[in-house]
Amino acid sequence: MENIGLMDKVKEFVQLMKPRIIVLLATTGVIPYLLAGGNGLVNSIVFIVIGFMSAGGAMALNSVIDKDIDVLMERTKNRASVKGLFSDRQIVGMAVILMALAVVSAYFVFNWLAAAFVAYGALFYILGYSLYLKRKNVLNTLIGGLASPAPVLVGYAAALGEIPEFGWFVALLVFIWTPSHTWAMSAYYVDDYTKAGVPMLPVVYGLDLTAKATFVFMLITSAYSGWLMWIDGYSLLKYGLWGTTNLWFIWQGFKFLKAKTREVGYRTFKVHNYWLALQFLLLFL
């Protein structure tokens, strides 16, 4: 095990928690929380911290589960879990503590339903996706995507103590968005996934079919988001911004469809992230 300073260890562990992913997850959670009437700066900050602990703990635990394949892939071979900066026991222990604190905090600060959805999101990601689906089936992204809407459901539950009909519709947007987002990302890292034997769509069926499937799902996702904006309440400004962001979204998908390259796939993945955050911000209008 390498010997490094305390602050360096903290930084390395935070990287295992995948903070950039957590920022997007937090956006899909805190916006529904505020829209549903969640108020108070302190409660909002606590909500974000709970999300960071829950998702971050699950991501860190995933680094132990995936250690044997992370060592084979260029993008993951320098993770702290692979380099031995922490023992597996240390990572698992800290991850479990973070997730447990998230669930307990959600229960006492908000309510049992919020705590239940916090637990659901973390456990389905670990048990359903990481431990089983990821390595077993090319449909891993489709089924594993059932964990993706958890932050939305936590947000509504924390504010209301229940999930309204519109809350389920918003959660469904994240679920529908997840496959094309992951396929575009895996297109860029296809060589890594092939080396590690992970049956992602481009590994099993190639970039051509991946680009086609990604574009089709992007069209479905865009159409669904348009319907969601409509039932949320029509305004000229909202639909003008929706049209602009979705033309950009679909155009990027079309470029991937035509190019069928790793590089365009990666740009499509990045556009997915910005697009989802923008759609959630549009719900405020």
pLDDT tens sequence across 134-159? 999 999 998 999 999 999 999 999 99
Cβ density class 130-139: b for 16+ within 10 Å, e for less: beebbbeeee
Where residue 39 falls among pLDDT bands split at 50, 70, 90?
confident
Q: d(Cα 118, Cα 104) in Å, to the nearest integer?
A: 10
Contact at 8 Å (CB) between 219 and 252? no
How far the first Cα of the chain sits from its last, in Å, is 52
Interval 123-130 mean pLDDT: 95
Give residue 183's pLDDT: 98
Contact at 8 Å (CB) between 182 and 134? no
Q: d(Cα 12, Cα 6) in Å, to the nearest integer?
A: 10
pTM above 0.75, yes or no: yes
Q: What is the DSSP letter of 145?
A: G
Closest CA to 58 of 141, 140, 135, 148: 148
Q: Which are the contacts of 244, defined by CB distance < 8 A and separation ≥ 6?
A: none
Is the model's pLDDT at 73 over the cut of 70? yes
Contact at 8 Å (CB) between 268 and 177? no
Is the model's pLDDT at 100 over the cut of 60? yes
Contact at 8 Å (CB) between 152 and 129? no
Q: d(Cα 143, Cα 255) in Å, to the nearest integer?
A: 27
Give residue 120's pLDDT: 98
Where residue 160 falls among pLDDT bands split at 50, 70, 90?
very high
Q: How many other C-beta atoms lie within 10 A of the C-beta of residue 7?
A: 8
Interval 58-62 mean pLDDT: 97
Is the model's pLDDT at 3 over the cut of 80? no
Q: d(Cα 98, Cα 44) in Å, to the nearest integer?
A: 18
Cα-trace Rg, the chain: 19
Q: What is the DSSP letter of 128?
A: I
Long-range contact set of residues 90-97: C-beta below 8 Å, sequence gap at least 24: 91/13, 91/16, 91/60, 91/61, 91/63, 91/64, 92/61, 92/64, 94/13, 94/57, 94/60, 95/57, 95/58, 95/60, 95/61, 95/64, 96/57, 96/61, 97/57
Q: d(Cα 57, Cα 22) in Å, to the nearest integer?
A: 11
Give residue 8's pLDDT: 86
